[in-house]
Amino acid sequence: MLDGALVELIYDRAKGETAFAVFSDGTSEVRPFIDLPSGDCLVPYSPDNNLIEHRVVLLPSGPEEYGSDTELLREIHAFIHRYVDVSPLFERVAAHYVLFSWVYDSFNELPYLRVRGDYGSGKSRFLLTVGSLCYKPMLVSGASTVSPIFRIIDAFRGTLVIDESDFRESDEKAEIVKILNNGNARGFPVLRAEQNREKEFDPRAYTVFGPKLIATRRAFKDQALESRCLTEDMGVGKLRRDIPLNLPPAFEEEALVLRNKLLLFRFRNLRKPRSLSGELPESIEPRLRQIFAPLLSTIGDPETRREVVSLAEDYGRTIVADRGLELEAQVLEILHRLSESGSELAVKEIAAAFSERYGEEYGGKVTPRWIGTIIRKRLNLKPRKSGGVFVVPVSEYPKLRHLFERYGLGEDVGDIGDVSEGVEERPPELF
Protein backbone atom coordinates (compact mmCIF):
# COMPACT_ATOMS: atom_id res chain seq x y z
CA MET A 1 0.00 0.00 0.00
CA LEU A 2 1.29 3.50 -0.90
CA ASP A 3 -0.84 5.54 1.58
CA GLY A 4 0.15 8.94 0.20
CA ALA A 5 3.79 8.13 -0.39
CA LEU A 6 5.77 10.15 -2.93
CA VAL A 7 7.11 8.14 -5.86
CA GLU A 8 9.80 9.24 -8.35
CA LEU A 9 11.42 7.55 -11.33
CA ILE A 10 15.20 7.04 -10.99
CA TYR A 11 17.88 5.71 -13.32
CA ASP A 12 21.24 4.17 -12.43
CA ARG A 13 23.34 4.41 -15.58
CA ALA A 14 26.22 2.39 -14.11
CA LYS A 15 23.90 -0.56 -13.41
CA GLY A 16 21.71 0.06 -16.45
CA GLU A 17 18.57 -0.06 -14.28
CA THR A 18 15.50 2.06 -13.71
CA ALA A 19 13.45 1.87 -10.53
CA PHE A 20 11.22 3.90 -8.21
CA ALA A 21 12.32 5.94 -5.22
CA VAL A 22 9.51 5.85 -2.65
CA PHE A 23 9.32 8.33 0.23
CA SER A 24 6.98 7.71 3.16
CA ASP A 25 6.97 8.66 6.85
CA GLY A 26 10.28 10.51 6.53
CA THR A 27 12.23 7.64 5.00
CA SER A 28 12.96 6.59 1.43
CA GLU A 29 13.57 3.28 -0.29
CA VAL A 30 14.16 2.03 -3.82
CA ARG A 31 11.73 -0.45 -5.38
CA PRO A 32 11.96 -2.17 -8.79
CA PHE A 33 8.16 -1.99 -9.12
CA ILE A 34 5.12 -1.02 -7.04
CA ASP A 35 2.02 -3.09 -6.36
CA LEU A 36 -0.98 -0.79 -6.44
CA PRO A 37 -4.06 -1.16 -4.19
CA SER A 38 -6.12 -1.84 -7.32
CA GLY A 39 -4.15 -5.02 -7.94
CA ASP A 40 -2.21 -3.52 -10.85
CA CYS A 41 1.58 -3.33 -10.90
CA LEU A 42 3.38 -0.07 -11.62
CA VAL A 43 6.66 -0.59 -13.49
CA PRO A 44 9.23 2.07 -14.40
CA TYR A 45 10.26 3.10 -17.90
CA SER A 46 12.76 0.66 -19.37
CA PRO A 47 16.44 1.67 -19.03
CA ASP A 48 16.54 1.18 -22.80
CA ASN A 49 13.93 3.90 -23.29
CA ASN A 50 15.26 6.09 -26.09
CA LEU A 51 14.77 9.36 -24.20
CA ILE A 52 16.54 8.09 -21.08
CA GLU A 53 19.31 6.24 -22.91
CA HIS A 54 20.19 9.27 -25.05
CA ARG A 55 20.00 11.68 -22.06
CA VAL A 56 17.15 13.71 -23.45
CA VAL A 57 15.61 13.34 -19.98
CA LEU A 58 18.02 13.41 -17.02
CA LEU A 59 17.01 11.58 -13.85
CA PRO A 60 18.52 11.13 -10.39
CA SER A 61 19.88 7.69 -9.50
CA GLY A 62 18.50 7.76 -5.94
CA PRO A 63 17.92 10.09 -2.96
CA GLU A 64 21.07 11.32 -1.23
CA GLU A 65 21.49 13.23 2.06
CA TYR A 66 22.37 16.93 1.71
CA GLY A 67 22.26 18.38 5.21
CA SER A 68 20.40 21.70 5.44
CA ASP A 69 18.61 23.58 2.66
CA THR A 70 21.19 26.35 3.01
CA GLU A 71 24.05 23.90 2.44
CA LEU A 72 22.31 22.47 -0.62
CA LEU A 73 21.69 25.95 -2.04
CA ARG A 74 25.35 26.81 -1.50
CA GLU A 75 26.40 23.72 -3.49
CA ILE A 76 24.03 24.58 -6.35
CA HIS A 77 25.28 28.16 -6.41
CA ALA A 78 28.92 27.01 -6.49
CA PHE A 79 28.20 24.58 -9.34
CA ILE A 80 26.56 27.32 -11.45
CA HIS A 81 29.36 29.80 -10.67
CA ARG A 82 32.01 27.24 -11.65
CA TYR A 83 30.71 26.71 -15.18
CA VAL A 84 28.64 29.78 -16.17
CA ASP A 85 29.40 33.50 -16.35
CA VAL A 86 26.32 35.51 -15.35
CA SER A 87 25.72 38.40 -12.98
CA PRO A 88 25.89 37.66 -9.23
CA LEU A 89 22.17 38.33 -8.77
CA PHE A 90 21.17 36.06 -11.65
CA GLU A 91 23.44 33.34 -10.22
CA ARG A 92 21.41 33.48 -7.02
CA VAL A 93 18.11 33.62 -8.90
CA ALA A 94 19.16 30.60 -11.00
CA ALA A 95 20.16 28.63 -7.89
CA HIS A 96 16.79 29.33 -6.27
CA TYR A 97 15.02 28.49 -9.53
CA VAL A 98 16.69 25.05 -9.45
CA LEU A 99 15.25 24.46 -5.97
CA PHE A 100 11.90 25.85 -7.07
CA SER A 101 11.75 23.46 -10.05
CA TRP A 102 11.83 20.46 -7.70
CA VAL A 103 8.66 21.61 -5.92
CA TYR A 104 6.98 23.49 -8.79
CA ASP A 105 3.89 21.26 -8.74
CA SER A 106 2.96 22.81 -5.39
CA PHE A 107 1.98 25.96 -7.29
CA ASN A 108 -0.54 27.00 -9.92
CA GLU A 109 1.64 29.58 -11.70
CA LEU A 110 5.36 29.85 -12.27
CA PRO A 111 7.98 32.01 -14.02
CA TYR A 112 10.45 30.97 -16.73
CA LEU A 113 14.21 31.43 -16.57
CA ARG A 114 15.56 32.94 -19.78
CA VAL A 115 18.96 34.00 -21.14
CA ARG A 116 19.14 36.29 -24.14
CA GLY A 117 22.07 36.89 -26.46
CA ASP A 118 23.67 36.21 -29.82
CA TYR A 119 25.56 33.12 -30.91
CA GLY A 120 28.65 32.45 -28.82
CA SER A 121 27.40 34.43 -25.82
CA GLY A 122 27.18 31.42 -23.49
CA LYS A 123 23.47 30.64 -23.72
CA SER A 124 23.95 26.91 -24.40
CA ARG A 125 26.38 26.56 -21.50
CA PHE A 126 23.84 28.17 -19.20
CA LEU A 127 21.04 25.87 -20.39
CA LEU A 128 23.16 22.76 -19.92
CA THR A 129 24.61 23.76 -16.54
CA VAL A 130 21.45 25.00 -14.83
CA GLY A 131 19.22 22.59 -16.75
CA SER A 132 21.22 19.57 -15.56
CA LEU A 133 20.21 20.39 -11.98
CA CYS A 134 16.52 21.10 -12.51
CA TYR A 135 13.70 18.65 -11.89
CA LYS A 136 13.66 15.98 -14.62
CA PRO A 137 15.23 18.26 -17.25
CA MET A 138 14.14 17.59 -20.83
CA LEU A 139 16.97 18.84 -23.05
CA VAL A 140 15.55 19.77 -26.44
CA SER A 141 17.99 20.45 -29.26
CA GLY A 142 17.51 22.52 -32.37
CA ALA A 143 17.33 19.42 -34.51
CA SER A 144 14.00 18.51 -32.89
CA THR A 145 10.55 19.06 -34.29
CA VAL A 146 7.93 20.53 -32.02
CA SER A 147 5.45 17.67 -32.23
CA PRO A 148 7.19 15.28 -29.79
CA ILE A 149 7.89 18.05 -27.30
CA PHE A 150 4.21 18.15 -26.27
CA ARG A 151 4.34 14.43 -25.58
CA ILE A 152 7.64 14.51 -23.68
CA ILE A 153 6.43 17.26 -21.34
CA ASP A 154 3.14 15.48 -20.79
CA ALA A 155 4.85 12.14 -20.07
CA PHE A 156 7.64 13.29 -17.72
CA ARG A 157 6.19 16.54 -16.24
CA GLY A 158 9.68 17.97 -15.74
CA THR A 159 11.64 21.07 -16.77
CA LEU A 160 11.79 21.97 -20.45
CA VAL A 161 15.26 23.21 -21.46
CA ILE A 162 15.10 24.73 -24.93
CA ASP A 163 16.91 27.10 -27.27
CA GLU A 164 14.02 28.94 -28.92
CA SER A 165 16.30 30.49 -31.54
CA ASP A 166 17.03 27.02 -32.93
CA PHE A 167 13.47 26.85 -34.26
CA ARG A 168 13.72 29.10 -37.30
CA GLU A 169 10.68 28.08 -39.34
CA SER A 170 7.67 30.25 -38.60
CA ASP A 171 5.30 27.34 -37.96
CA GLU A 172 7.77 25.65 -35.60
CA LYS A 173 8.32 28.88 -33.67
CA ALA A 174 4.57 29.40 -33.43
CA GLU A 175 4.20 25.96 -31.83
CA ILE A 176 7.01 26.69 -29.36
CA VAL A 177 5.34 29.96 -28.40
CA LYS A 178 2.10 28.03 -27.88
CA ILE A 179 3.87 25.77 -25.37
CA LEU A 180 5.38 28.77 -23.59
CA ASN A 181 2.12 30.72 -23.49
CA ASN A 182 0.18 27.77 -22.05
CA GLY A 183 2.88 26.33 -19.83
CA ASN A 184 3.23 28.84 -17.01
CA ALA A 185 -0.19 28.24 -15.43
CA ARG A 186 -1.90 25.03 -14.43
CA GLY A 187 -5.06 24.09 -16.29
CA PHE A 188 -4.18 25.30 -19.81
CA PRO A 189 -3.27 22.18 -21.82
CA VAL A 190 -2.44 22.23 -25.51
CA LEU A 191 -4.91 20.39 -27.74
CA ARG A 192 -3.65 18.18 -30.56
CA ALA A 193 -5.56 16.06 -33.05
CA GLU A 194 -4.59 12.39 -32.58
CA GLN A 195 -5.49 9.38 -34.70
CA ASN A 196 -6.99 6.48 -32.74
CA ARG A 197 -6.95 2.78 -33.60
CA GLU A 198 -10.01 3.22 -35.78
CA LYS A 199 -8.06 5.92 -37.69
CA GLU A 200 -10.42 8.59 -36.47
CA PHE A 201 -9.04 11.95 -35.37
CA ASP A 202 -9.86 12.87 -31.78
CA PRO A 203 -8.52 15.89 -29.90
CA ARG A 204 -6.22 15.14 -26.99
CA ALA A 205 -5.07 17.49 -24.25
CA TYR A 206 -1.34 17.59 -23.46
CA THR A 207 -0.18 19.14 -20.20
CA VAL A 208 2.65 21.62 -20.81
CA PHE A 209 2.67 23.22 -17.35
CA GLY A 210 6.09 23.20 -15.76
CA PRO A 211 9.40 25.06 -15.30
CA LYS A 212 11.22 26.14 -18.44
CA LEU A 213 14.75 27.30 -19.19
CA ILE A 214 14.82 29.24 -22.45
CA ALA A 215 17.52 30.80 -24.61
CA THR A 216 16.58 33.42 -27.19
CA ARG A 217 18.45 35.87 -29.40
CA ARG A 218 16.01 38.73 -28.80
CA ALA A 219 12.94 39.64 -26.78
CA PHE A 220 9.59 38.02 -27.46
CA LYS A 221 7.14 40.13 -29.45
CA ASP A 222 4.38 39.00 -27.11
CA GLN A 223 4.66 41.26 -24.05
CA ALA A 224 2.60 38.85 -21.94
CA LEU A 225 5.11 36.05 -22.66
CA GLU A 226 8.02 38.43 -22.11
CA SER A 227 6.67 39.28 -18.66
CA ARG A 228 6.75 35.60 -17.62
CA CYS A 229 10.53 35.42 -18.03
CA LEU A 230 13.29 36.22 -15.56
CA THR A 231 15.94 37.33 -18.03
CA GLU A 232 19.71 37.75 -18.16
CA ASP A 233 21.48 39.30 -21.16
CA MET A 234 24.51 37.19 -22.07
CA GLY A 235 27.78 38.20 -23.69
CA VAL A 236 27.72 41.83 -22.54
CA GLY A 237 31.21 41.62 -21.02
CA LYS A 238 34.42 39.60 -21.13
CA LEU A 239 34.21 35.95 -20.09
CA ARG A 240 35.55 35.27 -16.60
CA ARG A 241 39.01 33.74 -16.83
CA ASP A 242 38.18 30.86 -14.50
CA ILE A 243 35.28 29.59 -16.68
CA PRO A 244 36.40 26.40 -18.50
CA LEU A 245 35.97 26.58 -22.28
CA ASN A 246 35.07 22.88 -22.32
CA LEU A 247 33.14 21.01 -19.66
CA PRO A 248 35.35 18.54 -17.75
CA PRO A 249 34.52 14.81 -17.43
CA ALA A 250 33.53 15.42 -13.80
CA PHE A 251 30.65 17.71 -14.84
CA GLU A 252 28.05 14.98 -15.33
CA GLU A 253 28.92 13.21 -12.09
CA GLU A 254 28.75 16.48 -10.14
CA ALA A 255 25.35 17.21 -11.67
CA LEU A 256 24.08 13.71 -10.85
CA VAL A 257 25.13 14.01 -7.20
CA LEU A 258 23.24 17.29 -6.93
CA ARG A 259 20.15 15.80 -8.62
CA ASN A 260 20.20 13.00 -6.06
CA LYS A 261 20.34 15.50 -3.20
CA LEU A 262 17.60 17.55 -4.84
CA LEU A 263 15.43 14.43 -5.04
CA LEU A 264 15.57 14.15 -1.26
CA PHE A 265 14.90 17.90 -1.05
CA ARG A 266 11.72 17.32 -3.09
CA PHE A 267 10.60 14.51 -0.83
CA ARG A 268 11.06 16.65 2.27
CA ASN A 269 9.67 19.93 0.92
CA LEU A 270 7.00 19.23 -1.70
CA ARG A 271 4.09 19.24 0.73
CA LYS A 272 5.24 22.06 3.00
CA PRO A 273 2.73 24.93 3.29
CA ARG A 274 3.84 28.17 1.64
CA SER A 275 2.51 31.70 1.57
CA LEU A 276 2.22 33.54 -1.75
CA SER A 277 1.38 36.90 -0.22
CA GLY A 278 3.26 39.60 1.60
CA GLU A 279 6.44 41.12 0.25
CA LEU A 280 5.62 42.02 -3.35
CA PRO A 281 4.33 45.62 -3.41
CA GLU A 282 1.01 46.50 -5.01
CA SER A 283 2.84 48.81 -7.43
CA ILE A 284 4.00 45.71 -9.32
CA GLU A 285 1.42 44.68 -11.89
CA PRO A 286 -0.63 41.55 -11.01
CA ARG A 287 0.92 39.33 -13.70
CA LEU A 288 4.42 39.94 -12.36
CA ARG A 289 3.33 39.38 -8.78
CA GLN A 290 1.73 36.15 -9.95
CA ILE A 291 4.96 34.76 -11.42
CA PHE A 292 7.39 36.09 -8.79
CA ALA A 293 5.40 34.98 -5.74
CA PRO A 294 6.00 31.20 -6.15
CA LEU A 295 9.75 31.69 -6.60
CA LEU A 296 9.91 34.08 -3.66
CA SER A 297 8.07 31.59 -1.43
CA THR A 298 10.94 29.10 -1.80
CA ILE A 299 13.66 31.62 -0.80
CA GLY A 300 14.57 31.74 2.87
CA ASP A 301 17.53 34.13 2.80
CA PRO A 302 16.24 37.67 3.66
CA GLU A 303 18.86 39.47 1.54
CA THR A 304 18.07 37.40 -1.55
CA ARG A 305 14.34 37.89 -0.94
CA ARG A 306 14.86 41.66 -0.93
CA GLU A 307 16.91 41.43 -4.12
CA VAL A 308 14.24 39.36 -5.86
CA VAL A 309 11.57 41.88 -4.82
CA SER A 310 13.78 44.64 -6.24
CA LEU A 311 14.23 42.59 -9.41
CA ALA A 312 10.45 42.27 -9.76
CA GLU A 313 10.11 46.05 -9.43
CA ASP A 314 12.78 46.57 -12.11
CA TYR A 315 11.00 44.13 -14.43
CA GLY A 316 7.77 45.99 -13.89
CA ARG A 317 9.31 49.35 -14.77
CA THR A 318 11.04 47.90 -17.84
CA ILE A 319 7.90 46.22 -19.15
CA VAL A 320 5.84 49.40 -18.74
CA ALA A 321 8.52 51.45 -20.51
CA ASP A 322 8.98 48.93 -23.34
CA ARG A 323 5.24 48.64 -23.82
CA GLY A 324 4.91 52.41 -24.18
CA LEU A 325 7.88 52.78 -26.54
CA GLU A 326 6.66 49.93 -28.71
CA LEU A 327 3.21 51.51 -29.07
CA GLU A 328 4.72 54.87 -29.96
CA ALA A 329 6.95 53.27 -32.60
CA GLN A 330 3.99 51.43 -34.12
CA VAL A 331 1.89 54.58 -34.43
CA LEU A 332 4.86 56.46 -35.92
CA GLU A 333 5.41 53.67 -38.45
CA ILE A 334 1.82 54.19 -39.66
CA LEU A 335 2.28 57.97 -39.70
CA HIS A 336 5.49 57.61 -41.70
CA ARG A 337 3.80 55.43 -44.30
CA LEU A 338 0.74 57.63 -44.65
CA SER A 339 2.78 60.84 -44.78
CA GLU A 340 4.15 59.80 -48.18
CA SER A 341 0.90 61.12 -49.68
CA GLY A 342 1.97 64.65 -48.78
CA SER A 343 -1.44 65.62 -47.39
CA GLU A 344 -2.88 66.17 -43.95
CA LEU A 345 -3.36 62.91 -42.03
CA ALA A 346 -6.86 62.19 -40.75
CA VAL A 347 -6.85 60.55 -37.32
CA LYS A 348 -9.64 58.24 -38.51
CA GLU A 349 -7.43 57.10 -41.41
CA ILE A 350 -4.47 56.59 -39.08
CA ALA A 351 -6.63 54.47 -36.75
CA ALA A 352 -7.89 52.33 -39.66
CA ALA A 353 -4.33 51.70 -40.92
CA PHE A 354 -3.12 50.94 -37.38
CA SER A 355 -5.98 48.49 -36.82
CA GLU A 356 -5.21 46.68 -40.06
CA ARG A 357 -1.51 46.40 -39.22
CA TYR A 358 -1.48 45.89 -35.44
CA GLY A 359 -5.11 45.37 -34.41
CA GLU A 360 -4.67 41.72 -33.35
CA GLU A 361 -2.02 42.71 -30.78
CA TYR A 362 -4.55 44.97 -29.06
CA GLY A 363 -7.58 42.69 -29.19
CA GLY A 364 -9.03 44.43 -32.25
CA LYS A 365 -10.14 47.39 -30.10
CA VAL A 366 -8.53 50.27 -31.99
CA THR A 367 -10.58 53.49 -32.14
CA PRO A 368 -9.81 56.96 -33.54
CA ARG A 369 -10.24 58.39 -30.03
CA TRP A 370 -7.56 56.03 -28.62
CA ILE A 371 -5.15 56.75 -31.49
CA GLY A 372 -5.83 60.48 -31.09
CA THR A 373 -4.91 60.26 -27.40
CA ILE A 374 -1.62 58.51 -28.25
CA ILE A 375 -0.82 61.14 -30.88
CA ARG A 376 -1.48 63.97 -28.41
CA LYS A 377 -0.14 62.58 -25.12
CA ARG A 378 2.57 60.14 -26.19
CA LEU A 379 3.93 61.83 -29.33
CA ASN A 380 3.15 65.40 -28.24
CA LEU A 381 1.54 66.25 -31.58
CA LYS A 382 -1.48 68.57 -31.86
CA PRO A 383 -4.33 67.34 -34.08
CA ARG A 384 -6.98 69.89 -35.08
CA LYS A 385 -10.39 69.73 -36.66
CA SER A 386 -10.55 70.30 -40.43
CA GLY A 387 -13.63 69.70 -42.55
CA GLY A 388 -15.41 68.01 -39.66
CA VAL A 389 -12.63 65.48 -38.93
CA PHE A 390 -9.50 65.57 -36.78
CA VAL A 391 -6.23 65.69 -38.69
CA VAL A 392 -2.51 65.99 -38.02
CA PRO A 393 -1.93 69.43 -39.58
CA VAL A 394 0.93 70.49 -41.85
CA SER A 395 2.39 72.59 -39.04
CA GLU A 396 3.17 69.36 -37.09
CA TYR A 397 5.33 67.89 -39.86
CA PRO A 398 8.60 69.36 -38.51
CA LYS A 399 7.90 67.53 -35.24
CA LEU A 400 7.13 64.39 -37.22
CA ARG A 401 10.41 64.68 -39.08
CA HIS A 402 12.26 64.78 -35.75
CA LEU A 403 10.28 61.79 -34.39
CA PHE A 404 10.92 59.75 -37.54
CA GLU A 405 14.63 60.39 -37.21
CA ARG A 406 14.60 59.54 -33.51
CA TYR A 407 12.85 56.21 -34.08
CA GLY A 408 14.99 55.25 -37.07
CA LEU A 409 12.30 55.79 -39.71
CA GLY A 410 14.15 58.47 -41.70
CA GLU A 411 13.26 62.13 -42.03
CA ASP A 412 10.97 62.13 -45.07
CA VAL A 413 7.38 63.22 -44.41
CA GLY A 414 6.17 63.60 -47.96
CA ASP A 415 6.13 66.51 -50.37
CA ILE A 416 4.99 68.97 -47.72
CA GLY A 417 7.52 67.87 -45.16
CA ASP A 418 9.76 70.91 -45.56
CA VAL A 419 7.31 73.47 -44.24
CA SER A 420 8.58 76.06 -41.84
CA GLU A 421 8.20 75.44 -38.14
CA GLY A 422 6.69 78.90 -37.92
CA VAL A 423 3.52 78.05 -39.86
CA GLU A 424 0.54 79.41 -38.01
CA GLU A 425 -2.03 76.96 -36.79
CA ARG A 426 -5.40 77.17 -35.12
CA PRO A 427 -5.68 76.06 -31.47
CA PRO A 428 -6.38 72.31 -31.31
CA GLU A 429 -9.87 71.23 -30.38
CA LEU A 430 -10.26 68.61 -27.72
CA PHE A 431 -11.58 65.12 -28.46
Residue-wise pLDDT tens digits, 384-420: 998 889 999 888 888 888 888 766 676 555 543 333 3
Assess whether pLDDT exceeds 50 at residue 215: yes
- Total number of domains in the chain: 3
Same domain, 219 and 98: yes
Give the per-residue pLDDT at 418.
39
Same domain, 60 and 24: no
Same domain, 30 and 69: no
Residue-wise pLDDT tens digits, 228-280: 888 888 887 788 899 999 999 999 999 999 999 999 999 999 988 877 766 68
Same domain, 245 and 341: no
Give me the domain span that covers residue 352.
Answer: 304-431
Same domain, 82 and 212: yes
Same domain, 315 and 423: yes
Does residue 295 sit within a domain?
Answer: no
Does residue 141 sit within a domain?
Answer: yes
Residue-wise pLDDT tens digits, 169-189: 556 667 788 888 889 889 888
d(CA 335, CA 404): 9
Same domain, 242 and 372: no
Does residue 286 sit within a domain?
Answer: no
Report the side by side order of strands in the sheet with 112-116: 137-140, 159-163, 212-216, 112-116, 229-233
Cβ contact 208:179 at 8 Å = yes
Same domain, 203 and 130: yes
Model-level pTM? 0.72
d(CA 55, CA 229): 26
Report, as an integer, the average pLDDT of 70-78: 93
Give the per-residue pLDDT at 19.
97
Report, as an integer, the average pLDDT of 34-52: 92
Does residue 290 sit within a domain?
Answer: no
Same domain, 142 and 250: yes
Assess whether pLDDT exceeds 90 at residue 198: no
Give the per-residue pLDDT at 196.
73
Does residue 2 sit within a domain?
Answer: yes
Please name which of 142, 128, 153, 138 lies closest in space to residue 59, comparing C-alpha atoms.
138
Same domain, 315 and 264: no
Lowest-pLDDT choice from 11-25, 108-122, 194-208, 387-401? 194-208
Burial of 327 (C-beta count, 10 Å sphere; 0-12/13-18/19+): middle
Report, as an integer, the average pLDDT of 308-324: 68
Give the domain CATH number at 266: 3.40.50.300
d(CA 430, CA 102): 57
Assess whether pLDDT exceeds 60 at residue 320: no
